[in-house]
Amino acid sequence: MLIDSLEVIGGLVLLIWGADRFVLGAAAGARNLGVPPLLVGLTVVAFATSAPEVLVSMVAALRGEPGLAFGNAIGSNIVNVGLVLGLVATIKPIELKSATLRREMPALLAVTLLTVSLFLDTFMSRVDGLVMLIGLIIVMIWLARLGMRSAANDPIVAEYEAEIPDKVSMKAAAFWFALGLVALLIGAELLVDGAINIATTLGVSDVVIGVTLVALGTSLPELAVSLVSAYKEEHGLAIGNIVGSNIFNLLAVIGVAAVIEPSAVAPSVLSVHIFVMVAFTLVLFAMTYDYDGKSELSRIEGIALFSAFIAYQGYVIAGAV
């Protein structure tokens, strides 16, 4: 158990560090190629921040543990909304002024409903996985068009302009991209190996480990980015980072796992976890909807999200469902 725990910790450290370097390399490289910062942020950065989840999903599926991959994707989305946005809004309310970001919210809702519809037959086939990966391509194209049509005075444009690195050489960007990818691969292997062994030792399912330990660990980069963005008053990035990550978590993480290892969906996924994920997504959509011209996640709403997340984690751990 001690060795397994050290594997998990080592894997998480490599995933967090590797994700940071991977995002830096990908974003700087894209900017050096002349891609506008907003477009880089909406597509390249959003996809790159989901790299830990994607690689953990690939490793888990290749090892015949797709339940861990499904649990990681669903759990990460719950962590992103409940823990990350809940904690950030509790510390500092998040204003949603970006029209671009408001257009992204319905896309997250649509992708969430697509995932639910594919799960309903209790089996994720290779065809289902391909549907999700095709959906990923469509979303990437849509986000690219959204970025090109966004108004220059949209607050999120200036935020991405300030945060996307512009003084990193192409050679350095390629180096950090490659090194980050290697660290992610090694970290994913260590994390999955340790998590599977811990699940076996404790007698719980890989889904439970996926929606708790693995989901929390792979979402730490999003937590760090959102906390720093909120502190800098970059509200669009604080919440946009989560919305983009959640879209890619579902389409890429579950899609890759289903293509590699088609599998039955555990009953607890349909009866508990995916229901909770949909609930968090709908609540986020409602909380950020512009009802009165003042769209924001308030401190009270942040406390509500965070409390709901703690209650969910407590229920899962207590019942090991």
Domain that holds residue 232: 2-319
- Which residues, in sequence order, are bridge partners of residue 312? none
Q: With the C-alpha atoms ordered 278, 99, 54, 204, is the resulting torsion angle positive or negative?
A: negative
pLDDT for residue 171: 92
Q: What is the pTM for the complete model shown?
A: 0.89
pLDDT for residue 290: 61
The tokens of 47 are what? 């996809």
Identify the three-state secondary structure at position 124. Answer: strand
- The CATH number that applies at residue 217 is 1.20.1420.30
pLDDT tens digit at each of 321 positions of the chain: 788 888 888 988 898 898 888 888 888 888 888 888 777 887 888 788 888 888 888 888 888 888 888 999 999 999 999 999 999 899 888 877 777 777 888 889 999 999 999 999 999 999 999 999 999 999 988 888 877 777 667 777 777 777 787 788 999 999 999 999 999 999 988 888 888 888 888 888 888 888 888 888 888 888 888 888 878 877 777 788 888 889 998 999 999 999 999 999 888 888 889 999 999 999 988 887 765 556 778 899 999 999 999 999 999 988 765
Task: Find out whether 288 and 297 touch, Cβ atoms under 8 Å.
Answer: yes
Q: What whole-number distance in Å separates Cα of residue 81 and Cα of residue 249?
A: 13
Q: How many folded domains does the chain comprise?
A: 1
